[in-house]
Amino acid sequence: MKHHPVRHLISLDDLTDDDLREVVERGAQHAAASDAATSGAVDRPLEGLVAGIYFVKTSTRTRTAFSTAMLRLGGTIVSYGPGDLQTNTGETNEDTGRVLSRMLDLLVARTAGDPGEMRQWATQNRMAVVNAMSADEHPTQALADLTTLTRHFGRVEGLRLLYVGEGNNTAAALALALSRCPGAELHLRTPPGYGLSAAILERSRRQAARSGAAVLERHDMDVLPGGVDAIYTTRWQTTGTVKPDPRWRETFAPFQITDALWEHSPRAVFLHDLPAHRGEEVTADVLDGPMSIAFDQAENKMYSAMAVLEWCRAGQWQHVDGGIPATASAGRT
């Protein structure tokens, strides 16, 4: 097997500011090329490489996005289910990573707990490891979100977002990503007891102070910012989690996304990482309404995944015929 430089994406902290911008722009470039029907002209930079797709938890969008992304870039995939690896019989994560790295070029994984398991797989330097969601952070979701914003608005810098719902791994990644975008504002409205962790809030605010962004969190819906560019929510019951409070739905009820939120932000688009439960975190009128770009957002996960896979394999961006820039389709997703 040929050995090439690899980079791991286990947390957004693994990306420099330049990396973050380039991955987002590259994802938007792939999407624009697809819209322009020039996707067939894209080089196949991952031809001959093999990616393992290992998901312990359920996934529709992320698993399909990375699988199709690898195939579109010329590579092949091997899929594993939660009971397929010998870690279930006692093999150490380090040994599993060393073995897989002799046969795979990339490993895209969704685990049940913290990213420590992925860090152990990443102790070798032959196989890139990608975090497709861990308990504390969903980095590739945030990259897809920023790709979606770039496609729709032509930029991320200076945008104002209102996030309503649990401070889960999607919200954590969004805060860590937007806080590095100059002039961006993220206003979080999270239920009492279900906000961002203190560590995530500290990291994002430290980054915001450096970049000129802002991350603001409250635990009520009493005072909302007006004129935001996007309103974002996620499902109330995060994948693979159970809330200890049996009456948690009463706490979450005031945080439902309804048409009323558009009274002070009439031009805001609606984002949702999906899957959605209509009638819980969002009404059907909003999710299926004209301001919703949630399903475009889901499609953009594939284009963002293509950019992530390229970055992991030494970031060798390939030419797109016609030189389509990242913002060529601004205003569309």
Q: Quick: pLDDT tens for 223-236.
A: 999 999 999 999 99
pLDDT at 2: 52
Number of domain units in the chain = 2
- Do 161 and 292 lie in one domain? The reply is yes
- Do 210 and 287 lie in one domain? The reply is yes
Flag whether 4 is in a domain: no
Flag whether 278 is in a domain: yes
pLDDT at 76: 98
Residue 287 has pLDDT above 90, yes or no: yes
- Do 168 and 31 lie in one domain? The reply is no
Name the percent of the chain in helix, strand, coil, to the closest 5. Answer: 40, 15, 45
Flag whether 90 is in a domain: yes
Cα separation, 140 vs 168, in Å, equals 14
How crowded is residue 244: how many other Cβ atoms within 10 Å of its Cβ?
Answer: 6
- Do 130 and 161 lie in one domain? The reply is no
CATH number of the domain where residue 212 is located: 3.40.50.1370
Flag whether 326 is in a domain: no
State which residues form the domain around 55: 12-137+301-312
- Do 208 and 104 lie in one domain? The reply is no
- Do 251 and 148 lie in one domain? The reply is yes
- Do 179 and 123 lie in one domain? The reply is no
CB 130 within 8 A of CB 9: yes
Residue 34 has pLDDT above 50, yes or no: yes
- Do 100 and 153 lie in one domain? The reply is no
Residue 326 has pLDDT above 60, yes or no: no
Residue with tokens 């279930």: 88
Flag whether 289 is in a domain: yes
Cα separation, 261 vs 162, in Å, equals 10
Flag whether 130 is in a domain: yes
- Do 225 and 292 lie in one domain? The reply is yes
- Do 39 and 109 lie in one domain? The reply is yes
- Do 209 and 286 lie in one domain? The reply is yes
Q: Quick: pLDDT tens for 108-158.
A: 999 878 889 999 999 999 999 999 999 999 999 999 999 999 999 999 999
Using alpha carbons, select from 309, 248, 234 the residue that is nearest to residue 277: 234
pLDDT at 315: 60
Cα separation, 161 vs 189, in Å, equals 11
Round the average pLDDT of the chain to a whole number and report it. 91
Flag whether 319 is in a domain: no
pLDDT at 212: 98
pLDDT class of 5 with cuts at 50, 70, 90: confident
What's the whole-number mean pLDDT along residues 233-249? 86
